[in-house]
Structure 1
């Protein structure tokens, strides 16, 4: 009986490992969604002053939306799968309505710093920096702080955090016009490992279990996950399941604490 149990667990693990993570900008919805950032709530003006809209252009007449976060007067943090293949980006600051930012900056790909080890197959090291023109901070446009070096080994399991973005609202719609938020509890990585396998999930990830289908969706890529307790960004929206946003599948995010040295070496920002 014990042997049978081991075999069953092994078989389930093999099935789970087959599930391939999909970058959130490409995640299918599966069926209609009642919320924007899945089952979230609208943000009020100034609630998330650090989030930016990112409209990428591949230089061939097509593009895609992502989110990002302001981490310094001249720096935005986002996902590598957002910058990958892009020729330029238009950054919108201080928006709640996606198409009505306080102001915008256009940035060429020469100012993208994509992680050198980003893997398009496993979506590992899914992190990029964008060097921007100088931005002054005020109530509607401000930076988010990163984790302190003393917290770089904190897994944050069980901590509550805020996720925000302009993700899709239905099977056929584009990204949301209005900024939405959702409160998320960070899960143990083992939940994501059981679904995506240990090749895709590493200690460089944060896992969101989304038992109530609350979380990110297509269009939220690159957006920030920020702790309730001290307003520090601990993760970047990275990937979900090919089964869709409402499949109750866990979602993977890039763990910011794993890249504090890389961020410091490229930007000089550290805490």
Structure 2
């Protein structure tokens, strides 16, 4: 935990020591609901490898050959196993392995919490009903704030602090708030962070890092990458933070060629 606090003191100006990267892999969505089969075909599970150790994160398919995740998930990693099509956590449809050379962190991470984003180049993956890409925002929408809109995030893990990991994918619907309001909890945040309200303890939690925040509707758009929450408890009702995808559309296109 001390490592987390020391890192964040360097990247979030005036942030009190309550902001924690969601990276301890104990639990994920709190007070959410079970996903329906195929609800989030774009989500992948990531087993990040560092020597003999492993840690769990989430990611989003944005192209046949690319997954988007959080940069802090990929720090000092030797590679990753990517699990596709797993509504039930232990029953992925298939998996692929990638080396560290296929992982590209944002060049300005970890200088800013708003740059907590990374791309993973993958072998070609075909799409079907349970494995599919999620759309990125259009370049023309790069200035959209999404404040007061509802969005959905999903992940695997405990449904409360310290509880066992659930087998089934969990999701939660949350309202996007302004960065000004979010900064009341964490200190001044860059515009490349997007925050959501977490009423009644409905939130992201440890292990959900890198997972998707998408707009609601029949054709979801990826607008956030799970980044941080309150270190004291996942049910503290403090806002949850995501890397704002619209702030990184140029970088994503430069690295992957994916753009709308």
TM-score by length of 2: 0.90
Find the residue that maps to 2:152 and give its secondary structure.
strand
> Gapped runs of 5+ residues in structure 1?
1-15, 30-35
Aligned to 1:243: 232
CA contact (8 A) 2:29 2:170 kept: yes
Give the equivalent residue in structure 2 for 1:3: none
Q: Aligned pair 1:103/2:75, yes or no?
A: no
| Structure 1 match to 2:109 | 118
Match of 1:221 in 2: 209
User: Is contact 1:28–1:245 with CA below 8 Å preserved after alignment?
Assistant: no
- Aligned equivalents of 1:28 and 1:64: distance in 2? 10
The answer to whether the Cα contact below 8 Å between 2:114 and 2:244 also exists between their aligned partners in 1 is no
For residue 46 of structure 2, give the secondary structure of its aligned residue in structure 1. strand
Return closer, same or farther for 1:99/1:162 CA change in 2, 3 Å cut-off.
same
Match of 1:265 in 2: 254
Deviates more, 1:228-237 or 1:69-78: 228-237
Is the Cα contact below 8 Å between 2:26 and 2:162 reproduced in 1?
no
Structure 1 distance, partners of 2:255, 2:15, is 34
* Runs of 4+ with >6 A deviation: none
Please state if 1:24 is matched with 2:14. Answer: no
Q: Give structure 2 stretches of 5+ with no counterpart.
A: 1-13
For residues 192-227 of structure 1, the C-alpha deviation after alignment (integer angstroms, 9 at most, x for no partner) is 1111111xx110011112122112111111000010
TM-score in terms of structure 1 length: 0.86
The number of residue pairs the alignment matches comes to 246
Question: In structure 1, what is the equivalent of residue 190 of structure 2?
Answer: 202
Q: Distance in 2 between matches of 1:269 and 1:190?
A: 31
Do 2:50 and 2:77's aligned partners in 1 also have CA atoms closer than 8 Å?
Answer: yes
Among 21, 40, 45, the residue aligned to 1:48: 40
Partner of 2:9: none
Please say which of residues 240-249 and 138-147 is displaced more in the overlay. 240-249
2:53 pairs with one of 62, 82, 92: 62
Provide the residue aligned with 1:89 in structure 2. 80
Q: CA deviation at 1:20?
A: 4.2
Contact 1:213/1:248 (<8 A) preserved? yes
Q: Is the CA contact (8 Å cut-off) linking 1:54 and 1:89 kept in structure 2?
A: yes
